[in-house]
Amino acid sequence: METYSDMSNVLITDDVDQQCVDILQSIGFNIENDLSSAKNSEQLIEKMKSQKIIENSPHLKLIGRAGTGTDNIDTDSATKRGVLVMNTPGANTLSAAEHTCGLICSLSRSIPAACTSIKSGVWERNLINAESLSKCKIGVRIVNVARGVIVD
């Protein structure tokens, strides 16, 4: 039976953090970024539909998705070829929560409308409906979460 340590070539077609690449290289993996290397790769870290890559990669054994879902991976083709598909559920939860909080704050303070107004050369204060989050249930919860993050 082949182990993961027998798999030495990794094709990365996704934008992954350099730390991921460094870790893989430090434990002996050879990293490729060129799709022409697919035929020699045993693993694939990717973010695009993969049927063509799977078909052109006779040595492929593993597809890793740096993210939650696998909807952008042709799991049917992978399964037919006996290729294991893995993802990283929860890996971007904090980032997604931070982004959501930023969007909530931005919209509650009408920042997109203010930005558009300023870019057009006119400050239309009446378009800006700034709502204080401290008066909203979501605002109180965001503050409580932020307190927990700051304290930790």
Name the residue ranges covered by the structural domains of the chain: 4-87, 93-151
The fold adopted by the segment(s) 4-87 is Rossmann fold (3.40.50)
Q: What number is the average pLDDT over the span 74-83?
A: 89
Q: What number is the average pLDDT over the span 21-39?
A: 79
Q: What number is the average pLDDT over the span 124-151?
A: 70
132 vs 89, higher pLDDT: 89
pLDDT on residue 119: 92
Q: How confident is the model at residue 48 (pLDDT cuts 50, 70, 90)?
A: low
pLDDT mean across residues, the chain: 77
pTM comes to 0.57
Residue 133 tokens read as 């989050």
Alpha helices, H only, the chain: 18-26, 51-55, 75-80, 93-108, 111-119, 137-151
Tell me whether residue 101 is exposed, middle or buried, using C-beta atoms within 10 angstroms of its C-beta: 0 to 12, 13 to 18, 19 or more: middle
Q: 127 CB contacts (<8 Å, ≥6 apart)?
A: 110, 113, 114, 117
Tell me whether residue 12 is exposed, middle or buried, using C-beta atoms within 10 angstroms of its C-beta: 0 to 12, 13 to 18, 19 or more: buried
